[in-house]
Structure 1
């Protein structure tokens, strides 16, 4: 509800005009409307802090609406978000919190966020990690993501995938098919099989699934995360991620 302080000038103006607050704007005469506008303008000029209060309240309501939208989207798509066989599952497969990251191999912030993810896996034995390719930046990103899906198809356990992931995301220069294939070879994967699997419908289906999820959750950049009932867009650093995991685990930043 708007505060009395915020409504005061309008209510005062309506009282002066002898018009009940529920009256429609169309019922005011030109003179009454002019009086109201003058009173409101003068009040706001004398008390500009009211505008700050109004904007703060608007931001609060928008954030609450966004949170509600995210929670509803996660609830609707929970099985695909957290347990799809098309995601790469790392860490504790039976963990009490699932940490889902959407990333692009050409995303500079994703390169730094990879270190955060690795630290979380080392320090939190109860954490389940799911990686989802979300190539939004370039054609090279799409090519690298396609190779990554083929790597997952060859290595469902994720051990070699993680090695490949670190080599490609942590390397220098733009990622594309050539760099992804080189990283796969370094990680000990069968590049001939990867070439064959790149034509598989599974590659296209995986990336399409990830894009559909991201769209429904309002993700517009990388890295983006789903942690419990929370959607997190952007790199928020290791401490920020730990806080989100804490809220998902026990309802507070530190359990």
Structure 2
């Protein structure tokens, strides 16, 4: 069903098509003229209902284009924080010609779906630099997981981070300290050291800086991707992701 917010601009567009320009100033009409005008418009729209749909589609297209242009600007203005913050994990091909950034949350179902698509893309392409932004927004378990993997990265490096990240992206149970301890044991990591680091200022700073960046970029959900200069909000299947990457290469 069309919302009132969408219907009103669409109806105004339809009015412009349905009535002569001089009749659009409703404040200059008498009550009789206004009633006649309303009747004419109603009759026109009943005979041509596609006008409203066309107006809504045109408005949505303009809004999408405006959003895309705003995203281009905001990505450009914050490029250093997005692509070179100095702490986010960098994987894939670090020297790749295309950079893909993902803001993600370990409790996000769509992030878990996107994980498979992203891994497929990185494997199939081989020339993509992939940056992970820890953006825990779905509760205490999300925050616990992010603190854990960031602490592990700071202590044991990027390979340990990637192993834990992959494991948590396919993990469907509750994220608890005992569950994380089992992961540490699986990958031969010092769980006591990681746990001691999780509440540190260094870990808190990474999360806070990424959260501030997300707010600047007007990111409110996960997953959200940045592909070079373009922001993509939400889950995308592999073929659409590959299409965007190919388009970026063509533009380059």
Match of 1:113 in 2: 114
Tell me the distance in 1 between the aligned counterparts of 2:246 and 2:239: 10
Tell me the distance in 2 between the aligned counterparts of 1:42 and 1:76: 50
Note the aligned Cα RMSD (angstroms): 2.3
Tell me the distance in 2 between the aligned counterparts of 1:245 and 1:183: 33
Q: 1:177 to 1:29 in 2, by over 3 A?
A: farther
Tell me the distance in 2 between the aligned counterparts of 1:105 and 1:140: 8
Alpha carbons 2:150, 2:161 under 8 Å: kept: no
1:8 and 2:25 are equivalent in the alignment: no
**TM-score normalized by the length of structure 1:** 0.85
Q: 1:5 to 1:104 in 2, by over 3 A?
A: closer
Which consecutive unaligned segments of at least 5 residues does structure 1 have? none
Tell me the distance in 1 between the aligned counterparts of 2:81 and 2:148: 21
Which consecutive unaligned segments of at least 5 residues does structure 2 have? 1-9
Match of 2:155 in 1: 154
Q: 1:52 to 1:213 in 2, by over 3 A?
A: same
Aligned residues: 241
**TM-score normalized by the length of structure 2:** 0.86
Farther-moved stretch of structure 1 (82-91 vs 198-207): 198-207
- 1:67-86 alignment runs, 5 A limit: 67-86=68-87
CA deviations 1:19-75 (Å, max 9, x no partner) are 476xx4322222222222221111111100111110110110111111112111111
Q: 1:46 to 1:218 in 2, by over 3 A?
A: same
Tell me the distance in 1 between the aligned counterparts of 2:63 and 2:56: 10
Q: CA deviation at 1:8?
A: 3.1
